Structure 1
Amino acid sequence: MTEDSVEPGIGEGPAKALSVSLPEGTVRALRDRAGNRGVSALVAAAIEEHLRNQATRENLAEFEKEHGPFTAEERQAAADVWSAAEGRESRWREAG
């Protein structure tokens, strides 16, 4: 990459082939749910979600290290926002 270019973030950039080994039962369940052509998209989405969750945990830990632990009220407010977001997502999925 040149000095002016920016490396792609999670979920960005051209697709690259990667070989992974998974248990047979996991592969069967994955193909049953995604079909052979949807496997890459489903695996990419799962890995991207995992990486974003990991980054969020690291960022929260860094914030708490710098500013002290979150209060019970802050944790409850975050839980309320998360619950509302999950409710919206479940309605979206049900609408199909």
Structure 2
Amino acid sequence: MADDVFYRGELNVTPPLTKRDAKVLGAVMNLQRTAQTKAVFKAIEGSPDPDLPYYGGLLEVSEDRSRLIPEEGESRHGLRLWLSHLLKHFFRTTGILVEW
């Protein structure tokens, strides 16, 4: 997979996230360091691109946990970096497919 991430609209998640994975993913995307998010942040920090976006909350998990939805309105910088980190350090480890 290339390191470039391009997006347009919502991202489909297959299979839908479990409640636990949705909770962990939401916490990571909101820069919350907890026991459950520790492994993801550690993987990001040990990666060739260890920076985190300045902003959290750029994505949210849909109510049915089958989509990632970018914030409404004008998106802040950092979404590309979040998507790249999430694909490499969260979704690859869970076997969950993300399509856009």
Do the structures match in fold with TM over 0.5? no
Greater helix content: 1
TM-score per shorter chain, which class? under 0.3
Greater strand content: 2
Larger radius of gyration: 1
- Structure with greater contact order relative to length (CA < 8 Å, sep ≥ 6): 2
